[in-house]
Amino acid sequence: MPKPYPREFRDDVVAVARRGEAPLKQVAKDFGISESCLAHWLRAADVENGARPGVTCEESAELRELRKRNRLLEQENEVLRQAAAYLAQGNLPGK
């Protein structure tokens, strides 16, 4: 997988494309990216700006963190459930 372009570069390309001084095909060629890549960046910028529905980068990062936290809590809960079942069987220490 190719290395992602820096955020500043993507923002600059989107800004140039939005000015409309040249067709998208020419803007993409001038910056050395594919036309489909530019179209994707434009759609993503629309989502980030709220002009188009979708999940922003910030929301996506938050969702990833929440899913990670949820997995950890589920694992901790399972350990506690197993410990409670073990202790409920009368396997108390010192008996």
Whose tokens are 């989502």? That residue is: 47
Domain count, the chain: 2
The reply to whether 24 and 38 lie within a common domain is yes
The reply to whether 65 and 93 lie within a common domain is yes
The reply to whether 46 and 92 lie within a common domain is no
Helix (H), strand (E) at residue 66? helix 57-88
* Reported confidence tier of residue 2, pLDDT bands at 50, 70, 90: low
Quick one: CA dihedral 63, 68, 71, 73, positive or negative? negative
- Full residue range of the structural domain in which residue 74 is found: 57-95
Task: Give residue 51's pLDDT.
Answer: 82
Over pLDDT 90: what percentage of the chain? Answer: 65
The reply to whether 33 and 76 lie within a common domain is no
The reply to whether 88 and 62 lie within a common domain is yes
Question: At 18, which CATH number?
Answer: 1.10.10.10
Spacing of C-alpha 65 from chain mean position: 10
Task: Give residue 48's pLDDT.
Answer: 86
| CA proximity to 33, closest of 55, 49, 51, 9 | 9
| CA proximity to 14, closest of 27, 29, 30 | 27
